[in-house]
Structure 1
Amino acid sequence: MPHQDYQSIVDAAVHCAYECEHCEDACLGSMPECARLCRDCADICWTSAAYMSRGSRFIPQIVRSCIEICEACATECEKHKDSPHCQKCAQACRRAVEEYRKVASVAGIA
């Protein structure tokens, strides 16, 4: 897949990373597990955007991890119904998973 074909996935990954960074900052101290998962999710999403931007041959391996980490982050954030930042983060994570699954299905790892 040429790197241009990843644009919607890169956009979703960057948005997810952005929301996770915000959520992590808001949850520090009060919800440590949420903050940790958000940090992991942000890191892997920033990394995936970089790999996709350069059309790396390791995209399938990264996407596999992205799906797992984004799902874990979304599940944790969804528990915090009274935290708007957590809800926004969960939505961004779920959207990123949808996009990552497109790559996974093309790569035969879905």
Structure 2
Amino acid sequence: MDEKRLFKNICNLSNQEIAKKYIFLGEGICREVYSISEAYVVKVAKIDDGRYQNRVENYVYTHATKHLIKYLCPIVWFEPDRIIMRRAIPLSSLIKDKYIVLKTMSRKRIL
């Protein structure tokens, strides 16, 4: 199955079906995040505020400047109830310091 069809199929699943089929990674007040694969995650809105957060996240990504977009995970599929995006690599897996000071971090160090 190609990725586009996979993403469309995921967006047609209910929240309960996604929860049964994919690995739960975490949640906020309004959204849950599931691993689709090593490369992708889906953010699922639980309530209206989650749909609002999805729309805001998509807006920020689609309107980011060339300078800033390189720091964002690409959104590959958007619907108000679901965002499918590239999976982020936690900074803690790349940087072993006790504290991460973002102001002094160089781009080369994290890429």
TM-score, normalisation: structure 1: 0.31
Quick check: which one's strand share is greater?
Answer: 2
* TM-score, normalised relative to structure 2: 0.31
Of the two, which has the highest radius of gyration? 2
Which structure exhibits the higher relative contact order, with contacts defined as CA atoms closer than 8 Å and separated by 6 or more residues?
A: 1
